[in-house]
Each structure stands twice: as structure tokens, then as C-alpha cells.
Amino acid sequence: MQSIVEEWKNCGRNGRPRFVATNAFALGTGAADRGADQYRHYNQFLGAEAADQAARRVLTSPEDIRKVIQELEQVGLDEMVFLPQVTDLDQVDRLAEIVG
């Protein structure tokens, strides 16, 4: 991120760029497989190998989510966006319990 900040300044821009990350997640019983399938399908335009890699990165446990939050906070991320990969409304509640 430091190289981006330096280039930002080299271009004469004020302040610093805003760093945002998206994180796919699927929480609860049976959600991991469903979430991975959904994310693989969503990313199929990248090709089978890349879609499979993306599917393996879906966060599926409270520990995974907490770890990602901690790591991204440590590097100075400004915002994290969590994208549920299972269409059950309880996904939002499950995430809120973890981050709340």
C-alpha cells in the first residue's frame, strides 16, 4: 500500500487514497459449500482455475472473519465490505454477531 500512497503523492494528489477490500462470506450449517458454489459461479468469467481459487477464499467461520479484520486493520485499510454468498437473511445477523 505504501507504493500506492507514494505514487498518489507523486501525481500531486492531496491526502491519501482510500483503501477498501471486499470479502465474500458464508456462515452456518451447510453455508460453506453453498457459498463456495455461488462465488465460483459468480467468478466463472475469470476461467475455471481462477473461479476455484476465489471459491476457496470465501470466509466460512467466525475465526476466519476475525482474522481477516485484524490483518486488514493492521495494514491500515479504510473500509471492509462483506458480501454474503448465501441468500439467507440470517447471514447479516451472523456477521453482525461476529463484528458487532
48 vs 8: CA distance, rounded Å: 35
H-helix or E-strand spanning residue 2:
helix 2-10
Single out the residue of 63, 60, 70, 74 nearest to residue 28, CA to CA: 60
Q: pLDDT tens digits, residue range 10-44?
A: 999 999 899 999 999 999 999 999 999 999 999 99
pLDDT band at 97 (very low <50, low <70, confident <90, very high): very high
Q: pLDDT tens digits, residue range 38-59?
A: 999 999 999 999 999 999 999 9
pLDDT at 8: 93
CA distance from start to end of the chain: 27
DSSP letter for 86, please: S
pLDDT band at 2 (very low <50, low <70, confident <90, very high): confident
E-only strand ranges, 5-71: 20-25
The residue ranking higher by pLDDT, 100 or 97, is 97
Amino acid at 32: A
DSSP 3-state of 29: coil
53 vs 36: CA distance, rounded Å: 10
pLDDT band at 1 (very low <50, low <70, confident <90, very high): confident
